[in-house]
Chains A and B, each alone.
Chain A
Amino acid sequence: MQIGLADRHRQSKAERATHAAIPWGRLLPVLTLILFLLGWEAVVRLGAYPAFILPSPARVAEKFVAVALDGTLWRHLGVTLVEVLGGLAIGVSLAVVLGYAVAKSVAIERALSPYLVASQAIPIVAIAPLLVIWFGPGLLSKVLVSALIVFFPILVNTIAGVRGVSQDLRDLMRSLQATPWQVFTKLEVPAAMPVLLAGLKVGATLSVIGAVVGEFAGSDAGLGFMINLADGQYDTARVFVGVLALIMLALSLYGAVGLLEKRALRWREAGK
């Protein structure tokens, strides 16, 4: 059945009416958060948990403000951010290059696949101390841990994205006598981008974990270091502040990739 213009107009009007009836729907995540915080506070009070076991939300908030105001939080956050960005840069670059090569060459796939899969099986927690020994306790070891944890998801998504390009489109490009560079830039990159960016979203959050694991193994700055130090002083509220900062960092990176995705894939919306 064909849908006429009048039907489309009625539909969009109905949708607008529905949205207008539930503007408070946007507040639901906030309501959920408030309920969660109230539940947390209730657990602390009813269970009479001491602060060194489970600090109340109020105590955590108070500690958060104190650590933010005295600059400690930003200093450590800055260090972890540098490690994360470095890890992403190295991990993503290596994974995209290797992923493209594996996707295009059966010989390379056969030569490298077992080892690439094995790289995923490496327990990061076990290897992080070794990286500190080999590369020192400075920035590099943390960047490498972060890169290691990011590598595999990006690699897999790159391979899937490149291989997912429709053969019909490849044939079309060939019929138009496109050069390999034109096939790469005009077809493979745009076609693989949605899958690649989906992998990057996962990688961005994983990179934060990698940086923190590296800091736990040996560091003197960063959110992981701050958490370790707070744990050593039984300051559980400060541990929570560190965890909260890590969550915010991971969410920010996820959002940044989301924005990048929106921008990079505008052509998909334009085509609709």
Chain B
Amino acid sequence: MPESEPSLLVQLANPRNTTAAVAAVFGSVASAELLEQPKTVNRLLGSPGLSDDDLSALALFLIRGERENAARDCLLTHLFGCMARRKIVPTKLVQFGARVLATAPGSLLRTAALEYMRTAGPQNEFYAMWVGREFNEQNYAAFCRQSGEPEAPPPPASWQDWEERGWWRVKEDWPIAGLFFKLETAEEEVNNRLRRLKSPLVPAAQTLQYFLLHRLWRATTTTLERVSAIGQLIEDIQGVEGLEPLYDRALLVFRNHWRLLRMGELAEMAAEVYLDLCDLEREFAPDAEKLPPLLEGLDIDHLEKSWRQGPERWALLALT
């Protein structure tokens, strides 16, 4: 007859798994059911005999196993609270917290992990790295899968309708996202993630890019890098089967951000600068039958309207 696995309490009471202090405290508990009594657990974790190191050792022991275990989750939930209060941030626990927030369904453990990561997490030097790593395509897709297939929007009847109601239902309450967007590097990372579609096989509305576009949809500020990143995404997914909903939303968000850049005026200015450069070219090389390299993207209509070097030299534009 195979031996059954020893209960969590028995394991905790073994000094080989945890520190002697932890073993002593938890060894005194008679039954596993006690762990489900919050007061008892809090009393145990608040024991004056447990140092910061003891709590860290206990946490590391508890997160070692990957399998679900109700008693372990219960104990970890309380442990997160206790360690948040005492600002104990071992790297492994921060990594575990980030993973819980990225993948675990709603639970007391996730709530406790979120609180722990918010209050104590940033004190760990690798906090940003772990949060950044767990904010990834696979985890978002897994998170979305927990709520079933995404729901398609109704067909639009106007451009406004297309903008306002053209979104598939997006899972916005992904807990790791809240932490990710508060990181110092978040802006740059968002651009990087937009530029590269990693999971072409998940439904378009469950891609990380879709999630990010939804967040950026109504932004009030933007940068050229952000606009370029969305443009890059559009180029990458144009015509890719199955990604039409993502393409559709990327067009919308690009359009909105483009308006924020107010590029019309800039393109006109670029045309004016080009006119000055043409004048300089004449100054430096009066006999040269060429024009300076065209400033790509200038407003060609504005350039034509303001052209002051005659039709012969206008014809040279085709050669630049």
A binds B: no
